[in-house]
Amino acid sequence: MSKDFSIVGKSVIREDGFEKITGRAKFADDYKFDGMLFSVMLRVPATHAKINSVDFSAIQNNPSVASIITSQDIPGAKKIGMIKNDQPVFCDEKIVTPGDVLAMIVGEDETELRKLLTKIKVDYTSLPTLTDPKKSLDPDALLIHPEFGSNLIVHHPLRKGNVEKGFAESDEILERVYTTQTIEHAYIEPEAVIAIPLEDGALKVIGSIQNPFTVRRIVASVLNLPNEKVQVVQAQLGGSFGGKDDTMCMLSARAAVAALKLNRSVKIRYTRDESILESYKRHPYILKYKVGFSKIGKINAMKIDLLADGGAYCSMSPFVTWRSVVQATGPYEIENVQTDVRAVYTNNPYTGAMRGFGSPQPIFAQETLMDEIALHIGVTPDEIRRRNGLKLGSVTATGQTLKEHDVNLIPVLNKAVSFTNFAEKWKENKKNQTGLKEYSFDQPIFKDEQFISSEKLIKKGIGLAVSFRGCSLGAEGLDQSSCYISVQPDGKVVMLSGLAENGQGLRMTLLMAAAEELGVTADKIIFLENDTSKIEDSGPTVASRGTIMGAAAAKNAAELLRKQLEKVAREVSKLDETDFISFRENLVFSRKKGMIAKFDDVIKAAFENKVELSAIGRYKSPDVSWDEHTGQGDAYFTYVYGCQVAEVSVNTGTGEVYLNKITAVHDPGTVINRLGAIGQVYGGVTQGAGYGILEEVTNEDGMIRELNFDQYLIPTAKDIDEIKPLFLEGNEKYGAWGAKSLGEPTLELGAAAIANAVCNALGKRFYNLPLNLEEVLLGRKLRPQDLKRGSL
Amino acid sequence: MIDIMCEVLTPKNLAEALLLLSSADSTTKILAGGTDVVVGKTQGSKRFADAETLIDINRIEELKGISEKNGMISIGAAATFSEICKSKLVEEKLPLLKKASNTIGSLQIRNRATIAGNFVNNAPCADTVPALLVYDASIEIKSQTATRNVSLQEFLQGPYKTLLQQGELVTRILIPVPQQNYAGDFYKLGRRRAVAISRLTLAVVIQLKEKKIGDIRIASGAVTPIGTRFPKLEEFAIGQKMTDNLCQELAKKMGEEVLAVTGLRWSSAYKLPVVQQMFYQLLKGLER
């Protein structure tokens, strides 16, 4: 970038940082209102059950119970969903997964209400369960939602070229099956929401909400109210990672039904156990890959079959799996591709959006497969990627020709490889491999040869993974955003964005974009709370679109306003038409006269002259295309590229994988806030590491074992030594000065890079995530036979 | 949203605490760090379900402090792991205890959790128990009417069971200062490097004279129902030359003993090889 920025690209501390670290920031559960009631959920300890009757008589006249809320109380839609309305707000006929809620009781004393829940008698009949997605499409499979006639949620086919011909022309063929696990978002703040009745039957919702506009749409449909009668305000959000979407719509709807019925404010807040029990998860996948390649490793054909477990509800499954179908080959140019991605219903906890959104699963498979191909033909992992990687003008699996942006796959790869001295380390580690000992369950006592000499206990490994990622929504949906800014008479600027701060630092990014364009310092701009009734629907804050769509809209708003102010400055300073005016750091300059005014003086003059001092900036994505029968089209209008290198130490006696260093090279276009960008990398890499070696939500016939952080383990600061972020800033014509996406690319590569590094250390390949102690040492997972926890 | 309804009493000295305990029944529990009681109560653990009154012993001076007198190190029952980690005395004389204390939970947990709480709760995975066992720790127990001393080994009866009687309080932990020529090490394996429940702990102290084992004490945790010493292994080892062969022999014998106690369980496929391998590695590190 040749432009001389005054603030863009610098490291700036986020504007909400001080409030957050001093505990002053107001999260949803911090809001309290006069006469506010609490609401608690009634569930049954079953996975799939027919509800025969619910007997509330034991609590009906209890003074602690203000109301019992069931589906009878819902004025509008009784079932909701992001895409398909298949999820009952209250399950009065049957439950299809253990998180399902039958009814709620509302009252002033939350603790007392929880006790009273146990007095409600539910008569239910347990039904057979379907928890293996591989059986969901069997002809005799039980149907989770019989009204749909099938357990198939969605099927995305993709056909390019002729795979059979491609295989026939290949020198070698590999076929592999991979599995990835269910994981939990693990946001630090569990869900909380308050519904507040307003005058005229309208309603306000304040909550830990990722996407206020989605919540408004769902709440309005459940209440049978027009959108404008529902106002949704986002509280400070304690993390989301894609996880506070459906669940928050559901909780908001429930709280809203109670609030309107009782005409009092109603709060719902979840404990961690409840949060993990009911909230959706990341899809576990079963991934089958068949690949044909030449002697020099050029891939001729790839046949891919992916099965995603959608769990009990559709949620975002069709969109999550759509990203998978676009990106399943990885960033490689392959002439013949046949991909089928299916998502199916089971009785498992439902799965939906999570940071990564259908990319971490295929990347784990395809990037470890690439390493296998490299080993087969005897080249290093970086070289096999150079031979097949996407370049300017390459055609992707969906038939899209990559053009009009920097196709920076090979540059990010080369930068990561040379920075880490990858090839040399990889060869050295490979030479030192000693493999793992075999252990027998029947003869557990060691033979002499099973002992490992101390100097061979710890093995070093290095591995890499690359990806391309379509920015924003692509052909998933409408893609536009708005930003409103207005200058007060004293020169202070306020901003309203249609996109939401989810803890990722979006506010600061948008403030910086507007400040740069308006020529003011960022501290002059105040970011107003996100409120659906004050700004246009800008779509959800998902798909790493906050910066590319949001900063572009903020910049456009600032540009409109600056042009107005230019006219004022020109008049006031009596500049001639040929002079050039610029705004920079609260000052206004003319090319001929130098500094001519302070920003505040121009505002004062503009105000006195009745000049319009507000603007709405909009940004819409360029057109994309998709043919759902062939899976061909220009899926996304632009892409970002990344490469991560993992350096690990593996304990061959215990299976422990320690992460010595992760080097993350990303092309986010232009970096707006460097501190925010580095933060995204730290967080994404850590989350990717958790996916790679630790995290897993397992269940016993649908019942989750890991309901809290004593069982569900995420990485701590001690589990990763060094994270090194490196940015390769490409040229891009879209977004604000070419600022694209970074959030999700940082987390999608880790598991694959780590798995490749472990293989480099041990000479053993892993096909099933996560690479936890047992997987590494024994090549399989071990599960306790009961659901007993810790010291209970 | 931790909501536990208990009455909390805070005696200011030991006499007051013992008086309160003397009239208490099973609905009264002792609150030290609270990292087991409060969590257990919140989770609805059966062990704490009947608790109505908690006696907070954190303000009792007599239960604090770490000191050395007449060849004995005395640690107050309510000493926190952070205090133990910071103690120069522990660092110098009881390095295994420092290492074990340092692996417990997080800094926040170590700031609250107490050493006596660790073994009075007596979870199979109590991290400091193996270290205390190889140091031949004994404990002082007081009631309003009596004081008794018991070896820790004897005190620990079974998972979550000890010899502590109604009305009694563990007051101090007493550890004979190890002789100069003892070496030793502690090992913990968890699923991650911090805030991890141990999957395996091992502690060994050893006295070598010209490669011959003069004395050895071995203990483990998390692989047996409670933290335990291995007297048969120790007996077998004493007097033998510390060779690679012996290290392997001892590791196999530990595997056999663990197998004999636990039988084959879901976790054995992992834990049995690991206990043998890492015990072998631990011994090899002490072979000098």
Q: Is residue A418 part of a domain?
A: yes
Residue B70 has pLDDT above 70, yes or no: yes
Q: How far is B122 from chain A (nearest CA, A)?
A: 10
Q: How far is CA B119 from CA B78, B131, B137, in A?
A: 12, 11, 12
Which of the four pLDDT bands, split at 50, 70 and 90, describes residue A791?
very low
Contact A261, A67 (CB under 8 A): yes
pLDDT of residue A789: 56
Alpha-helical regions (H) of A279-380: 317-327, 360-377
* Contacts of residue B187, Cβ cutoff 8 Å, sequence gap at least 6: B200, B201, B202, B203, B278, B281, B282
Q: Is residue B125 part of a domain?
A: yes
**Residue in A439, A457, A658 closest to B273 by CB:** A439
A320 plus A444 within the same structural domain: yes
Residues of B with CB under 8 A from a CB of A: 1, 3, 36, 40, 43-47, 106, 121, 123, 160, 189, 191-197, 199, 248, 251-252, 255-256, 259, 264, 266-270, 272-274, 276-278, 280-281, 284-285
**Residue in A778, A785, A792 closest to B266 by CB:** A785
| b/e code A650-666 from CB counts within 10 Å (16+ = b) | bbbbbbbbbbeebbbbb
B255 plus B213 within the same structural domain: yes
CATH number for the domain spanning A92: value is 3.90.1170.50
Contacts of B189 in chain A (CB under 8 A): 654, 656
B131 plus B82 within the same structural domain: yes
pLDDT digits (tens, 9 = 90+) for A585-601: 999 999 999 999 999 99
B200 plus B238 within the same structural domain: yes
**Residue in B46, B197, B270 closest to A778 by CB:** B270
User: How, if at all, do strands A720-727 and A657-667 pair?
Assistant: parallel
Q: Is residue A569 part of a domain?
A: yes
State how far the Cα of B174 lies from the Cα of B182, in Å rounded to an integer: 18
Taking every pair of Cα atoms in chain A, the longest distance, rounded to a whole number of angstroms, is: 95
Span A46-58, mean pLDDT?
98
Contacts of A782 in chain B (CB under 8 A): 266-267, 269-270
Q: Which amino acid is at A707?
A: L
Nearest one of B116, B27, B33, B121 to B75, comparing CA atoms: B116
pLDDT digits (tens, 9 = 90+) for A409-437: 999 999 999 999 999 999 999 999 999 99
| b/e code A265-277 from CB counts within 10 Å (16+ = b) | bbbbbbbbebbbb
State how far the Cα of A741 lies from the Cα of A384, in Å rounded to an integer: 26
Classified as helix, coil or strand, A33 is coil
* Contacts of residue B209, Cβ cutoff 8 Å, sequence gap at least 6: B181
Out of B142, B176, B210, pick the residue that ends a domain: B176
A106 plus A247 within the same structural domain: yes
Lowest mean pLDDT among A383-397, B40-54, B251-265: B40-54
Query: What is the domain count for chain A?
Result: 3
A669 plus A522 within the same structural domain: no
Q: How far is A425 from chain B (nearest CA, A)?
A: 26
Which of the four pLDDT bands, split at 50, 70 and 90, describes residue A147?
very high
B35 plus B141 within the same structural domain: no
A77/B contact by beta carbon, under 8 A = no
Contacts of B106 in chain A (CB under 8 A): 716
Residue A792 has pLDDT above 60, yes or no: no
pLDDT of residue A477: 81
B168 plus B75 within the same structural domain: yes
Q: Is residue A416 part of a domain?
A: yes
B253 plus B191 within the same structural domain: yes
Cross-chain residue pair B266–A448, CB shorter than 8 Å: no
Cross-chain residue pair A719–B194, CB shorter than 8 Å: yes
CATH number for the domain spanning B11: value is 3.30.43
Contact B145, B169 (CB under 8 A): no
The token pair at A587 is 């000052």
Span A776-781, mean pLDDT?
96
State how far the Cα of A700 lies from the Cα of A688, in Å rounded to an integer: 25
pLDDT of residue B3: 66
Contact A254, A268 (CB under 8 A): yes
**Residue in A658, A715, A774 closest to B270 by CB:** A774
Q: Find the Cα–Cα–Cα–Cα dihedral A766, A769, A774, A779, rounded to 10°.
A: -30
Cross-chain residue pair B191–A713, CB shorter than 8 Å: yes
Which of B46, B122, B161, B193 is the best residue to mutate to test the A interface, defined by the most A CB atoms within 10 Å of its own CB? B193
Q: Is residue B82 part of a domain?
A: yes
Q: Is residue A276 part of a domain?
A: no
Contact A259, A98 (CB under 8 A): no
Residue in A closest to B249 by C-alpha: A448
| b/e code B224-251 from CB counts within 10 Å (16+ = b) | bebbbbbeebbebbeeeebeeebbbbbb
Contacts of B196 in chain A (CB under 8 A): 713
A255 plus A369 within the same structural domain: no
Residue in A closest to B256 by C-alpha: A445
State how far the Cα of A510 lies from the Cα of B27, in Å rounded to an integer: 57
A433 plus A530 within the same structural domain: no
pLDDT digits (tens, 9 = 90+) for B140-180: 999 999 999 999 999 999 999 999 999 999 999 999 999 98
Residue-averaged pLDDT of chain A: 96
Q: How far is A790 from chain B (nearest CA, A)?
A: 9
Q: Is residue A406 part of a domain?
A: yes
**Residue in A269, A448, A773 closest to B248 by CB:** A448
Helix (H) / strand (E) containing A422: helix A422-431
State how far the Cα of B215 lies from the Cα of A243, in Å rounded to an integer: 57
State how far the Cα of A321 lies from the Cα of A338, in Å rounded to an integer: 15
Q: Which domain does A734 fall in, by range?
A: 285-473+628-778
A661 plus A608 within the same structural domain: no
Contact A743, A210 (CB under 8 A): no
Which of B274, B275, B287 is the best residue to mutate to test the A interface, defined by the most A CB atoms within 10 Å of its own CB? B274
A579 plus A447 within the same structural domain: no
Contacts of A653 in chain B (CB under 8 A): 274, 277-278, 281
A454/B contact by beta carbon, under 8 A = yes
The token pair at A507 is 């506010």
Query: What is the domain count for chain B?
Result: 3
A368 plus A391 within the same structural domain: yes
Assign 3-state DSSP to chain A and report helix, strand, coil percentages, each to 5: 30, 25, 45
Q: Let me know how long chain B is.
A: 288
Out of B160, B176, B192, pick the residue that ends a domain: B176
Burial class (CB in 10 A: 0-12, 13-18, 19+), A612: exposed
Out of A577, A593, A620, pick the residue that ends a domain: A620
| b/e code A290-315 from CB counts within 10 Å (16+ = b) | bbbbeeebbbbbbbbbbbbbbbbbbb
State how far the Cα of B84 lies from the Cα of B73, in Å rounded to an integer: 12
Q: Is residue B2 part of a domain?
A: no
Detail the DSSP E strand segments found in A448-607. 458-470, 480-487, 493-497, 525-527, 581-584, 587-590, 594-598
Cross-chain residue pair B278–A452, CB shorter than 8 Å: no
B169 plus B115 within the same structural domain: yes
Contact A488, A476 (CB under 8 A): no
Place of tokens 């995530």: A769
pLDDT of residue A61: 96
B213 plus B135 within the same structural domain: no
Q: Is residue A175 part of a domain?
A: no
Cross-chain residue pair A451–B280, CB shorter than 8 Å: yes
A541 plus A682 within the same structural domain: no
Q: Which domain does B38 fall in, by range?
A: 7-56
A597 plus A486 within the same structural domain: yes
Q: Is residue B1 part of a domain?
A: no
B71 plus B152 within the same structural domain: yes
B71 plus B151 within the same structural domain: yes
Q: Is residue A786 part of a domain?
A: no
pLDDT of residue B5: 80
CATH number for the domain spanning B69: value is 3.30.465.10
Residue A3 has pLDDT above 80, yes or no: no
Q: Is residue A132 part of a domain?
A: no
Contacts of A718 in chain B (CB under 8 A): 192-194
Helix (H) / strand (E) containing A721: strand A720-727
CATH number for the domain spanning A674: value is 3.30.365.10
Residue A654 has pLDDT above 90, yes or no: yes
Helix A360-377, helix A381-388: angle, nearest 10: 110
CB pairs under 8 A between A and B: 110
Classified as helix, coil or strand, A303 is strand
Contact A586, A522 (CB under 8 A): no
Classified as helix, coil or strand, A96 is coil
Strand-by-strand arrangement of the A581-584 sheet: A581-584, A587-590, A594-598
A128/B contact by beta carbon, under 8 A = no
Which of the four pLDDT bands, split at 50, 70 and 90, describes residue A622?
very high
Strand-by-strand arrangement of the A94-95 sheet: A94-95, A49-55, A121-126
pLDDT digits (tens, 9 = 90+) for A676-721: 999 999 999 999 999 999 999 999 999 999 999 999 999 999 999 9
**Number of Cβ within a 10 Å radius of residue A792:** 12
Contact B175, B136 (CB under 8 A): yes
Residue in A closest to B123 by C-alpha: A791
**Residue in A694, A716, A785 closest to B194 by CB:** A716
A320 plus A241 within the same structural domain: no
**Number of Cβ within a 10 Å radius of residue A428:** 13
Cross-chain residue pair A784–B45, CB shorter than 8 Å: no
B215 plus B253 within the same structural domain: yes
B77 plus B90 within the same structural domain: yes
Out of B124, B150, B176, pick the residue that ends a domain: B176
Contact A70, A301 (CB under 8 A): no
A117/B contact by beta carbon, under 8 A = no
pLDDT digits (tens, 9 = 90+) for B211-234: 999 999 999 999 999 999 999 999
